[in-house]
Structure formats: C-alpha cells, structure tokens
Amino acid sequence: MELPKFLLADNTDYPDAIFIVHTEYPRFIINLENDEVEWMEEFSKEDEADLMEEAESLIEAATAFYDREVSRYDA
C-alpha cells in the first residue's frame, strides 16, 4: 500500500489536538495544538544534528499540509 506523505489524525481522548502524521523517514507525529513532536525513529547522536536541520522544514511542510486540507474542506 502506498501512503501519502502526510496524514491528518484526531482522537476523541484529545479533543483539542490536531495531529499530523509524517509517514516518510524520518517519521513523526506533530500535535499542531502545542507543536509537540513525537519521533517514530531512533537516532544516533550524529543523526540528531542532521535531523535538527531538516526538522524545521518538515514541520513547516506539515503545517502547510494542514492549512491546505482545511482550505479544501471549507470550500
């Protein structure tokens, strides 16, 4: 099965949360309510430096995905 790069998710246990799931490496879930990120990968110390550089652009892309999805829903 081919998955999209981002998925929008919710959970009734967290009614105010807006979860975006990034399905490609490095996989993560971000809660747009509080910008908390949960990484679904394990990283070495060497990888962490590269990850920090990439993380900002990935989080911006996740936010843009959410904005696009919401604008399509409102249309």
- 10 contacts: CB under 8 Å, gap ≥ 6: 17, 18, 19
The pLDDT of residue 75 is above 60? no
Provide φ and ψ at 5, rounded to 5°: -65, -40
Q: Write the pLDDT tens digit of every residue in 2-25.
A: 999 999 999 999 999 999 999 999
Q: Write the pLDDT tens digit of every residue in 13-70.
A: 999 999 999 999 999 999 999 999 999 988 888 888 788 878 889 999 999 999 999 9
Ordered DSSP codes for 28-71 = EEEETTTTEEEESS---HHHHHHHHHHHHHHHHHHHHHHHHHHH
